């Protein structure tokens, strides 16, 4: 596997060192952090400052994404059956 050298601040290095397990490499920890999905509780209260129109638009977009996901799931199940 090839590697690249990057520069990070001392604080970032220390934070990464604390976050990773002793058996984990820095690359593994960075990969884990990049793949991590946001948690719902991290978003708590964010919608409170939005207008009703903005919040409705976001809710609509979420609904559309859920519907597309359902349709894709149905296609996969149909292809398997």
- Per-residue confidence (pLDDT) for residue 22, from 0 to 100: 92
pTM of the model: 0.43
Q: Compute CA 69 distance to the chain's CA centroid, rounded to the nearest angstrom.
A: 17
- CB contact burial 41-53 (16+ within 10 A = b; e otherwise): eeeeeeeeeeeee
**CB–CB of 10/24 below 8 Å?**
no
Q: Output the furthest CA–CA distance in the chain (Å, rounded).
A: 54
pLDDT per position in the chain (81 positions), as tens? 788 999 999 999 999 999 999 999 999 999 988 887 777 667 777 767 778 888 889 889 999 999 999 999 888 887 775
């Amino acid at each position: 596997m090839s590697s690249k050298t990057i520069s990070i601040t001392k604080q970032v290095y220390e934070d990464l060192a604390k976050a990773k397990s002793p058996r984990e490499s820095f690359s593994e920890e960075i990969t884990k952090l990049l793949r991590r999905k946001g948690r719902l509780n991290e978003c708590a209260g964010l919608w409170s400052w939005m207008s009703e129109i903005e919040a409705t638009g976001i809710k609509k977009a979420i609904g559309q994404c859920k519907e597309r996901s359902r349709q894709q799931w149905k296609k996969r199940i149909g292809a398997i059956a």
